[in-house]
Structures are given as structure tokens and as C-alpha cells.
Amino acid sequence: MTDDDYPNTRRFLQGRSREALTAREKGVLEGLVERTERFTGPHVILERGAVLQQSTMLIEGFVARVIHAEGKRHIVALHVPGDFVDLHAFALKRLDHDVVSIGTVQIGYAPHARIEEVLRTEPNLARMLWYSTLLDAAMHREWIMKLERLSADGRVAHLVAELWRRLDFVDLASAGASPCR
């Protein structure tokens, strides 16, 4: 089997630690996605404060985490294909931010009941889900530090470099490649 056999989750941890998953675990991961949805324009996918019974995998496109404060919209994270956008919602059940699409996106929903079963029965896959959440938190800490230390030009350069690297991990940064294919 190849990663193309996992259309919804093939980019999860690609370029990082996906090779640590067995073919069976990749199949279990793919089975987490109960349904998919496509949005072709700006859309609030998850609303701040809503009670969540599922987590969201970004399959194609880009999404942002957004906080509204003092009449302004603040982007606090960007996600690329393969990211579990809100895996931390499994534990928290509510988000303190909105998740919005940027352009056309395809997302997959993984019910928390299925994630709970994976945590009980698949220790290595459970560790990889936890690892994914920790990577997300590390990127967030890096954004906070860069916001403090870099000029506006430096912050933009850092964002471009980060996004290029993350897209490179999931084979979408090469010349002519489109993250929305």
C-alpha cells in the first residue's frame, strides 16, 4: 500500500514521523475520518465556544485560527494539508477561537468517540496524535517569540519560511505544485 491509499490522511505527519506508523495504523487513522466536506469560499468551519464532538483534519487548502478582539480579527495560527486543526478539542471540547477557511478547502471530521477508541487500543498511533498536538503547540510558541523579537519585515519573512517548510514536508512546496489540488 502507498500513502495514496489514504486519501484523507495521507499527509498527516508526512515529512516528520509518518514513517513511524505501520500500514495497519495508517488504515486506522484513515478510518477516523467519518465524513468530509468542501468549502469553496471563506467559511467559519468551527465557531469559538461551540461544543465539539469531533476533531477536524485539513485535507486540502489552508485554514486559519482566528480570534476577534477590539473589533479586529487576529490570525493566531495557519494550517496546511495534513494538520489536525483542532485535535486539542478532543480534550477541551470547546475552542477559544474560530477556525476559518482560506479559499477552497476540504476537511475531514474525526468523531471524538473514534479517537477515544484509538487511544484505548492503538498506543503508537495515540502517541503520534499527541505528537501532532505538541508540534502545533511548539509552532505557536515560536510565533509568540518571533512576534516579540522580530520587526514586521522579519515576522513576514519568518511566516513565509515556515509555510514553505511545512508545505515542503507534505510535498506541496515544489515548483508548480498547488496546495489546493
* 179 located within any domain: no
Residues 89, 55: Cα–Cα separation, whole Å: 6
> Which is more confident, 110 or 180?
110
Taking only the tens place, the pLDDT of each residue in 35-79 is 999 999 899 999 999 999 999 999 999 999 999 999 999 988 999
Pairing of strands 54-69, 35-39: unpaired
The grid coordinates listed for 180 are: 489546493
Count up the domains in the chain and report the number.
1
Decide which of 111 and 149 is more confident.
Answer: 111
User: Rounded distance, CA 32 to CA 121, Å?
Assistant: 13
176 within some domain: no
3-class SS at 17? coil
- Domain range for 54 is 3-169
How confident is the model at residue 43, as a pLDDT? 94
Residue 62 maps to a domain = yes
pLDDT averaged over every residue in the chain? 90
Alpha-helical (H) ranges within 57-111 are: 89-92
**Assigned domain for 129 exists:** yes
Mean pLDDT calculated for residue range 17-32: 94
Residue 73 lies in a domain: yes
User: What beta strand segments (E) does 29-181 contain?
Assistant: 35-39, 44-46, 54-69, 72-79, 98-111
pLDDT at 181: 45
Is residue 177 domain-resident?
no
Per-residue confidence band for 178, with pLDDT thresholds at 50, 70 and 90: very low
pLDDT at 168 over 50: yes
Residue 119 clears pLDDT 70, i.e. is over it: yes
pLDDT score, position 80: 94
| Percent residues over pLDDT 90 in the chain | 61
pTM of the model: 0.89
Query: Is residue 181, in this structure, part of any structural domain at all?
Result: no
Is the predicted pLDDT of residue 114 greater than 70, yes or no? yes
Chain mean position to CA 58: 5
Residue at 178 is within a domain = no
Comparing 79-83, 93-97, 174-178, the range with the smallest average pLDDT is 174-178
For residue 111, give the CATH number of its domain: 2.60.120.10
Residue 176 pLDDT: 55
